[in-house]
Structures are given as structure tokens and as C-alpha cells.
Amino acid sequence: MTTECHSIQYGESRIAFAIVRRGRTTLEIAVEPDASVVVAAPRNAPLAAIEAKVRKRAAWIQRQQRYFNQFLPRTPDRRYVAGETHLYLGRLYRLKVVFHIQASVKLARGLIVVQTHRPDRAEVTRELVEAWYRERAHAKFAERLELNLLRFPAPDDFRPKGLIVRHLRQRWGSMSPSRRLLLNRRLIEAPTDAIDYVITHELCHIAVPHHGLEFFEILNRVLPDWRERKQRLELRMA
């Protein structure tokens, strides 16, 4: 897989986009939450054809960028110090760091309590909290996946072959051509209904890999309020 950076002129503005070449047969344009533009393209697609597609979709791209730009700048990087607030399933919890010989992380009365033998080391606290988030994400995403599969008339037809949780810089999730569901670890910070939106959105890609009319027909049918859920996700996670 290779990535190329290009841009086109559209009216008085310039649209920059990255091309990611994969073993696929169609072109797909995505505007990510940071307002960047990514084109998934076949390995042999000529640049002129890709530029023509971006130019054709330029008005839509700019509408999507305006939508995401209203949520920028996004939350600054966490420092992992006592008193700092962190999200979990859409709720804010205050970080409490206490000395203890045995390291652990747990929720307690509006707090994320971190027990550590090095309470003065933010990097140690970060590692413990991130490990806790990853463990929670794997468990919760697997649970929500099973529930969201029930939205479909034939759930097994939409069952992914694997679930991967990873830190993603730009997107909330993706569905690979081999039917492996990839979800952003940060989603565990979002409300459950927003997690369900991302999972259901990606499951629809098993039937339709692109964002054409057929894709949204399926999404509208199985999750009629997906737009409201998407809006809540972006607002809460900004």
C-alpha cells in the first residue's frame, strides 16, 4: 500500500488530498474528522482519473470539511496528571493517582483511580490508563458488535471475520476488503449510541464498500437516526 499527496484547484480554493493505493477496483473519497481528504484508489488508477473524481466531488468535499471544521480544534493531548478529566463511554471522570505497591486502574464515584508505585511519573500513569482503556475497548466493542449485528435481517451475512482495536489518527473505524473490522481505541470514550453508529456504519460496508446511494439506503434502513448519532459523536469527542 502506497500513499501519495496531491491537490487540485477548485474555484478560488485548493483541495489537498492523499491517495492510498490498494488492491481494489473502485475509487472512494473520504473526508476524515480532521478535515483531511483521503482517496482510496486501485493501484493502477491514473492520476488524471483520480483528480477528475476529486474535482467532481469537490463541492461535497468542502461541505464535509466545513462540517468537521466546526469541531476543531480538537481536545488537546492529555497530560495524565491528578485532577485531569478523561472521557469514558461519554461521561467525564476525574483522574485520581494514588500510591500503591500493586498497579491497577478502576472506576469509582466519578473517578478513574490509578494505583501506582510511581504516582509522580505521568508516563507510568499514561501506560496504566491506556492499558485499561484498551482492555475496556476490546470487551465493550465485542459486546456492541453482537448487539448491532441484530439490526440486520441476516446477521451472519454482516459478521466481520475479525475485530481489531487500534489508535487511529484520522478515522473512527474501517472495514477491510477481507472483512476485518478496525475500530479506533478512542471510541471507548464516546457514548454507547455513538459507538453503535460507527460499528453499524462499518458493517454496512460489508455489503457496499463505497459511500454511494446503495450504502446509505442500507444504513438508513438499519439505523434511521445515524445522522443524529454522528453529530453527537463529533460534538462529544471534539
pLDDT value of position 231: 83
The segment(s) of the chain belonging to CATH 3.30.2010.10 are: 129-236
Residue with cell 501506560: 127
Query: From the DSSP assignment, how many helices (H) and strands (E) are in the chain?
Result: 6, 11
d(CA 27, CA 85): 41
CA diameter of the chain: 63
More confident call, 4 vs 56 = 56
Closest CA to 82 of 67, 68, 95: 95
Asked whether 200 and 223 are in contact (CB, 8 A), the reply is: yes
Distance CA(112)–CA(106), nearest Å, equals 6
pLDDT value for 72 = 60
pLDDT in tens, 40-82: 999 999 999 999 999 999 999 999 988 887 766 556 678 999 9
At which residue does the C-alpha cell 445522522 appear?
Answer: 227
Mean pLDDT for the chain overall: 91
Grid cell of 194 as nine digits: 455513538
Q: What is the pLDDT of residue 68?
A: 80
- Report how far apart, in Å, the C-alpha atoms of 42 and of each of 7, 24, 55, 56, 137 are: 18, 5, 18, 18, 32
Of 10-19, 98-107, 108-117, which range is least confident? 10-19
Q: Is 151 helix (H, G, I), strand (E, B) or coil?
A: coil
More confident residue, 30 or 2: 30
Q: Give the model's confidence band at 139: pLDDT under 50 very low, under 70 low, under 90 confident, else very high.
A: very high
Peptide bond connecting 73 to the previous residue in cis, omega within 30 degrees of 0 = yes
For residues 220, 222, 227, 231, the Cα torsion angle rounded to the nearest 10 degrees is: -160
Q: In sequence order, what are the residues at sequence separation of 6 or more whose Cβ sits closer than 8 angstroms to the Cβ of residue 45?
A: 21, 27
Task: Please tell me the predicted confidence (pLDDT) of residue 77.
Answer: 74
The model's pLDDT over 155-212, given as tens digits with 9 standing for 90+, comes to: 999 999 999 999 987 789 999 999 999 999 999 999 999 999 999 999 999 999 988 8
**Domain 129-236: which topology?**
Zincin-like (3.30.2010)
pLDDT for residue 78: 81
> Does the pLDDT at position 1 exceed 60?
no
